[in-house]
Chain A
């Protein structure tokens, strides 16, 4: 049985070229980038080159890109960094953020910060006027994700950025799912922080990127050596840095082609389901979602049984984000969209496409999914 991996929003395989870049560093350029000798200088060059590549993909300056230990750390750094540099104040975020943002905000509430969690509509979208209404004089940070990890919903980041141009609040965008598949220009978006994760873009796990606009007030999480211009202590993970840069460069060069391919796959998946008599609807507007994420409601089915059946059929999909998937708790994203009593919370599956998926795999997976959906009714 061929196994079909449709869970690329949880994590993705390392691109062979990214793997090669990592291996070269691991075996040949193993010096500590902070060392002043030639081994150190060679490693420093690797880090500098990677930083240049990443900066270019989002139109940022070289010094504005910080390498972190993960997407979670990048999100936490932006939120804690902004908050701790201000000591107190009000934060605006949305109810559908990744837990790396939500739980960071909850931690800040315990420290006395006031947090507004904006609702979303049935399509999973935050409204710009809600952001505007929530803004206060003491609002220090607005944190809204670019593309949702569970439904793929693309938030009106551009409009929010424009709105905030006239307000002192800092603007953080969690772009972990959007980076590499949507074009991102930090200057156009008017963001102060933007978080990226390596392993969602066919790079390695254990590496993330945080963009920080020059001059933005900031407090680090990790203290120690003076790496990353004192913003993130710890010996640089040079191999992973080379790996994420290689993955980012490939992602950027193939972005439009992949976005078109995944969009087609999405349509093909839904068409095949329909042709085979499955009853379903999409959670969120397909036209306003990330090309690689598809979240479907199968009325009358049970998500747990559904996933087990998919798994037995060799198809890896998910009920929501992997980080909450450990136990199937109702998705906070779908709850925000449809309310806690909605049947959709118990009967929805996320399929997310990626690098190695083929049209044949999508057709086959949809066929099997349709069979399971019918069987479980």
Chain B
């Protein structure tokens, strides 16, 4: 279903930053205010002006006078969900250094196409984002293109080498929202202890890619029946679990904020659940692919390298545990770990392919089709996991539609059918295991600071009248 826009002013078309925008007739879901129902949303000067009950309040008047007022644009969101802008708290934009895989521009375009208004990008660029000037460069690129907000995550250690702390304070002052050596774990327990302590000065979370490299060894997929059948080296679940257990023990002593990236095993989730009960400041995210696929997919696709990522696709038992963690509130966020790689790099033997797959343009559809449709979670919980939750973990300004907050809004159609077409992705890369999947549920539009984002080569979904 396409939203339609009615505007009294030819000049105030979509994308016009000024003026007021009324998103009318949609189903507004904002877990931060406990809202889910027939509300209209009034955006003004880049912030949320009001949430209006349908048929009353100033909105009704605005709508009645829409034909007369020059500065009010009305966007008909009938059949659509209106949510606080979605936030993907774990992506790799590859810039600087690997622009042949992705750039800030193409990555944020992919974000906007996928319904995201903000992303947090990992530090494993070339050069590594381990100092202020790289952080500033990423932010400058983001401002120049502006399809979505970009929140850089700085490195924990210089060069991601795991030996010395990076200049976390300078990076945070420049705009970094967290620190992580993602792509690599912080293997050295002493460095992790120091990082947790030091990051407290700047009140940013330390995000861990939990993997004991000795245990994962030369592994390329989850260790289990399927790695045995395929003769591929396995990465045991314990490679993640022992690191999570270690870090939670350290966290008991240090305090601070600790966030687990792409948690993938039943046992790690149970460790987090217990630590939470104990009152430890731990949060965690899971990826859509770990929620939807299992290690069997490597066999089903006959060694497709699109099924190779870290952590690896786990067992069905692990997947079921993650689904339970979504439902019971243990999981704070769904994050894609969007990891672009060039087609040539993936068109090789399974052992030789790089780890990682795209996520920005498939996350929302997968979640709607595979999590909400079967009733594992409801729409409100999904919006929490994709917006309110990550905003809370990273203490970002979005994730809510409270009056006065940023006018970052995502419109999606929970019933819209779509066939994933990797060839049409706005990302520079194509590495997805979901190409050709038919999904029900799709993003329709994003507003950034009240301004509708238009994407190159894409007809604006809600047509202006």
Task: Say if A and B assemble together.
Answer: no
